[in-house]
């Protein structure tokens, strides 16, 4: 049987991080509930949020194992983009279209 005290599982008041983003627990960002007009935010006990946060790295590792051919770093990706951008930069201007 799973049991908990509801009072102990109420999330803290949200702190505004930037417009439209709040944080109740460290490193857990949420859409500001005030912006949720169509679908209101549902109540979620603290233990459930902590369970999801604790397991997100395991889930990410599973996704990588099953769907990624290789992992690249952000720096590596930036280098690849810079190389492609340098290759594409035209040495001569693109001819303009003639007006009809």
Give burial (CB, 10 Å; 0-12/13-18/19+) of 5: exposed
pLDDT digits (tens, 9 = 90+) for 50-93: 999 999 889 889 888 888 888 778 898 899 999 988 887 666 55
SS3 content of the chain, % helix, strand, coil (to 5): 45, 15, 45
The pLDDT score that the predictor gives to residue 24 is: 92
Contact 21, 31 (CB under 8 A): yes
47: nearest Cα among 22, 81, 10: 10
* N residues, the chain: 100
What pLDDT is recorded for position 10?
A: 85
* pLDDT value of position 31: 93
Instruction: Measure the CA–CA gap between 63 and 32, rounded to whole angstroms.
Output: 28
9-29: pLDDT as tens digits: 888 899 999 999 999 999 899
Which pLDDT does position 90 carry in this prediction?
Answer: 63
pLDDT at 4 over 80: no
> What is the average pLDDT value for the chain, to the nearest integer?
84
Q: Is the pLDDT of residue 94 over 70?
A: no
**Which of 3, 2, 1, 12 is closest to 46 using CA atoms?**
12
């Amino acid at each position: 049987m799973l049991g908990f005290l509801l009072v102990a599982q109420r999330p803290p008041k949200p702190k505004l991080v930037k417009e439209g983003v709040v944080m109740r627990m460290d490193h857990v960002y949420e859409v500001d509930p005030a912006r949720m007009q169509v679908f209101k935010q549902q109540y979620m006990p603290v233990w459930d949020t902590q369970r999801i946060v604790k397991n997100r790295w395991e889930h990410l590792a599973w996704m990588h194992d099953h769907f990624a051919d290789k992992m690249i770093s952000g720096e590596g990706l930036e280098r690849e983009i810079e190389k492609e951008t340098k290759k594409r930069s035209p040495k001569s201007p693109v001819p303009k279209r003639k007006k009809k």
